[in-house]
């Protein structure tokens, strides 16, 4: 577990090198000054990845349809291929095979960009690597080995002769947006355990994840522990609660305007919350760097900036006498900025409601649409600059420039699909009105339809994989809590308590053990209402886990309505299973292939029968008769043999 204050101590170059291939913003770190080392030599991990890359290049030597690789019972990714892939790290490095397959996927994606003439081939190979990783995860039956060794143990590879930052397969899949791997059952089970806090980072070795020791402890007091605030689920609850309180404070402040300009308790708390959020964002940006920036970070920063401007204006207003007109004007301007942020406050709720499936899927759609909008705005900027220069030139034709604001407003109205043609008759007629007609046509007919097409394409792409996209978003949120967790969890605005009452007066001189104990006491007081609730819930979960283990089920198993009477059914004893097995279809192979195989089997039986008759006839008949019989049967056998070879060839073709 790592404190944010110890999150990063390396130079800027190492930081950029560590996260150049990652999409997520929060990095894995350690309790020590440097990141934990990989348990396997990075050279060996890289060799395993290179073996897997060579294997995939041989398995897919030419461009194939992606469906041939991804479909169930694929003839490309066969069980033999998977068994060979397992041996890439044999015998001592088998656990890193899944991680190496994700690294190979990244390599093929890079190769597709570098070799555009073979981009489709490399993309299919990247899909194959991801599909192999998924099937290996789902084939592993030992859950403890899968979680601790395959998915959560961190490994490094070599880049430019230097080991990369240690990363585990769960983090790598999130960084690469590997939906196929993220959607696998074993991966989602691991994410569920991390989200619930059933798997936690080892305090002594941050590179390891260990099961929660009190998972089956039914003692209430054993779960009343401030350290449990590190659990992603509980941190998310606190964030949602603080967001709702923040919104409530804003609603109270904007609906109780003070004409005198004095600050009441509601506004004071609102600005204190804002300070806490600003410090939290600044702290993360300082530790992570520019890679921390994202749409929501910029959105929140804009909101906090507007609130800061409102607060500053209020403080400047206090510098004037009461009832002074300047003070009234500044107070009014301060409330104008405050009111201007209302839509952003409500939109900010979406950031913390993404754990709900509906909001999560919609957020993914919005994010992709915003990314697709960049193409439209790039084209729009070039078009608008060109036409604006034309309008300015027409305005300067009479040696005066006095209609610039009118031109800008008219162009923006056209973008908003509300063009205004009045007034352009005065721009060097008839050139001004003709130019505006052309601009309106280009923007409203061409560019806006391009934007609609981009939005439609993005929406279809996301909705087709809505479930996988939601699971990827949920996994990313979980890993943001897990990757670089704060050893002492003070969620904004409680981080102000940590900064001004703990770090500044104590951390710089107090021994670590005593300082951690003080932090635990403070967190116990702050989060005491939530800790009581979480202790009760974990105690209840402990009883469920014990009951599930008693029945031989998974720890998180929930008895569904169709399972309530299942124990009273014995399908083998009553013969039902036998009937089902005899009538079930074989979905692994096409019906034509199965028919050909059946025909080959029958022809083989016929050959055996005819050979037996031939031998019997040769031993009991006379020479002439037996010769004739032998000759005829031989011809018949030869004909059947040809039929069998033809069937075999047909089976191979199928």
392: pLDDT strictly greater than 50: yes
Round to whole Å and give the CA distance between 538 and 547: 14
Task: Clarify whether residues 164 and 294 are in a common domain.
Answer: no
Asked if residue 196 and residue 305 are part of one domain, the reply reads no
> Residue 187 has what pLDDT?
95
531 burial (CB, 10 Å; 0-12 / 13-18 / 19+) is buried
3-state SS class at 159: strand
pLDDT higher at 402 or 195: 195
More confident residue, 13 or 265: 265
pLDDT, tens digit, 9 for 90 and up, residues 161-190? 889 888 899 999 999 999 999 999 999 999
What was the pLDDT predicted at 6?
A: 33
Structural domain containing residue 148: 1-214+482-559
Q: What is the DSSP string of 579-644?
A: HHHHH----SS-HHHHHHHHHHHHHHHHHHHHHHHHHHHHHHS-HHHHHHHHHHHHHHHHHHHHHH
Greater model confidence, 525 or 618: 525
Planar angle of CA 4, 207, 512, nearest 5 degrees: 45
Predicted TM-score of the model (pTM): 0.80
Do 58 and 167 belong to one domain?
yes
pLDDT computed for residue 14 by the predictor: 42
**Predicted pLDDT at 115:** 92
Residue 209 has φ and ψ, to the nearest 5°, of -115, 135
Higher pLDDT, 360 or 248: 248
Give the per-residue pLDDT at 629: 45
252 and 140 in one domain? no
Q: Identify the pLDDT of residue 57.
A: 94
Are residues 206 and 265 located together in one domain of the fold? no
Domain assignment present for 649: yes
In a domain? residue 492: yes
Q: How many CA atoms lie within 13 A of 536 on its CB side?
A: 5
User: Both 614 and 532 in a single domain?
Assistant: no
User: Mean pLDDT throughout 438-447?
Assistant: 90
Confidence tier at 135 by pLDDT (50, 70, 90): very high
Q: Is 224 among the domain residues? A: no
Residue 415 is assigned to a structural domain of this protein: yes
196 and 85, same structural domain? yes
Q: What is the mean pLDDT of the chain?
A: 82
Same domain, 345 and 372: no
In the chain, the number of structural domains is 4
Domain boundary, last residue among 464, 491, 517? 464
Look at the alpha carbons of 83, 86, 90, 92 in this order and tell me if their dihedral is positive or negative: negative
Does 473 reside within a domain? no
Does a structural domain hold residue 225?
no
Percent of the chain with pLDDT over 70: 87
Query: Which region among 46-60, 326-340, 365-379 has the lowest average model confidence (pLDDT)?
Result: 365-379
- pLDDT confidence bin for 9, thresholds 50/70/90: very low
> Under a CB-based contact definition with an 8 Å cutoff, are residues 161 and 199 in contact?
no
23 — pLDDT class (breaks 50, 70, 90) = very low
Of the given ranges (120-124, 199-203, 234-238), which has the lowest mean pLDDT?
Answer: 199-203
> Do 396 and 308 fall within a single domain?
no
Query: Is pLDDT above 90 for 302?
Result: yes
Shared-domain flag, residues 348 and 406: no
Please check whether residues 14 and 159 belong to one and the same domain.
yes
Same domain, 622 and 540: no
**338 belongs to a structural domain:** yes
Structural domain contains residue 577: no
């Amino acid at each position: 577990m790592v404190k944010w204050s110890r999150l990063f101590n390396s130079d800027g170059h190492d930081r950029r090198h560590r996260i150049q291939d990652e999409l997520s913003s929060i990095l894995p770190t350690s309790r020590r000054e440097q990141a934990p080392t990989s348990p396997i030599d990075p050279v060996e991990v890289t060799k395993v990845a290179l073996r897997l890359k060579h294997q995939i290049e041989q398995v897919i030597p030419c461009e194939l349809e992606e469906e041939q690789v991804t479909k169930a019972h694929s003839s490309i990714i066969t069980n033999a291929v998977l068994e060979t892939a397992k041996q890439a790290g044999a015998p001592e490095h088998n656990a890193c095979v899944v991680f190496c397959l994700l690294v190979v996927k990244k390599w093929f994606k890079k190769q597709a960009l570098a070799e555009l003439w073979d981009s489709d081939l490399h993309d299919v190979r990247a899909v194959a690597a991801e599909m192999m990783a998924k099937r290996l995860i789902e084939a592993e039956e030992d859950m403890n080995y899968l979680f601790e060794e395959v998915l959560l143990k961190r490994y490094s590879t070599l880049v430019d002769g230097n080991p990369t930052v240690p990363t585990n397969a769960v983090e790598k899949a999130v960084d690469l947006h590997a939906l196929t791997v993220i959607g696998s059952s074993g991966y989602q089970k691991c994410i569920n355990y991390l989200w619930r806090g059933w798997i936690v980072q080892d305090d002594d070795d941050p590179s390891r994840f260990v099961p929660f020791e009190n998972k089956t402890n039914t003692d209430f007091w054993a779960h009343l522990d401030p350290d449990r605030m590190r659990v992603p689920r509980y941190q998310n609850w606190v964030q949602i609660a603080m967001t709702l309180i923040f919104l409530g404070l804003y609603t109270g402040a904007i609906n109780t305007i003070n004409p005198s300009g004095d600050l009441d308790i509601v506004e004071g708390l609102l600005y204190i919350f804002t300070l806490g959020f600003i410090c939290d964002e600044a702290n993360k940006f300082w530790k992570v760097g520019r890679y921390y920036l994202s749409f929501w970070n910029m959105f929140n920063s804009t909101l906090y900036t507007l609130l800061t401007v409102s607060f500053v204006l209020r403080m400047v207003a206090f510098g004037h006498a009461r009832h002074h007109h300047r003070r009234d004007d500044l107070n009014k301007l301060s409330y104008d900025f405050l009111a201007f942020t209302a839509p952003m406050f409500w939109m900010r709720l979406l950031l913390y409601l993404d754990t709900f499936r509906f909001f999560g899927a919609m957020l993914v759609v919005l994010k992709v649409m915003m990314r697709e909008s960049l193409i439209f705005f790039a084209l729009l900027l070039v078009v608008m600059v060109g036409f604006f220069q034309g309008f300015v030139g027409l305005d300067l034709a009479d040696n005066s420039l006095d209609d610039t604001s009118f031109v800008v407003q008219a162009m923006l109205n056209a973008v908003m699909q509300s063009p205004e043609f009045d007034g352009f008759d005065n721009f060097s007629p008839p050139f001004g009105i003709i130019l505006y007609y052309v601009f309106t046509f280009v923007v409203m007919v061409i560019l806006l339809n391009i934007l609609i097409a981009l939005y439609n394409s993005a929406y279809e792409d996301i909705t087709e994989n809505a479930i996988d996209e939601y699971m990827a978003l949920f996994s990313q949120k979980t890993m943001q809590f897990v990757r670089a967790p704060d050893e002492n969890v003070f969620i904004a605005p409680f981080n102000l308590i940590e900064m001004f009452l703990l770090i500044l007066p104590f951390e710089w001189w107090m021994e670590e053990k005593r300082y951690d104990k003080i932090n635990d006491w403070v967190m116990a007081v702050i989060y005491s209402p939530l800790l009581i609730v979480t202790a009760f819930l974990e105690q209840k979960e402990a009883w469920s886990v014990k009951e599930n283990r008693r029945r031989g089920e998974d720890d998180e198993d929930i008895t569904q309505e169709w399972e309530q009477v299942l124990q009273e059914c014995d399908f083998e004893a009553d013969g039902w299973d036998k009937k089902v097995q005899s009538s079930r279809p074989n979905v692994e192979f096409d019906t034509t292939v199965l028919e050909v195989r059946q025909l080959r089997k029958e022809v083989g039986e016929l050959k055996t029968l005819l050979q037996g008759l031939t031998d019997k006839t040769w031993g009991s008949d006379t020479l002439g008769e037996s010769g004739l019989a032998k000759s005829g049967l031989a011809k018949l056998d030869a004909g059947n043999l040809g039929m069998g070879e033809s069937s075999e060839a047909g089976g191979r073709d199928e």
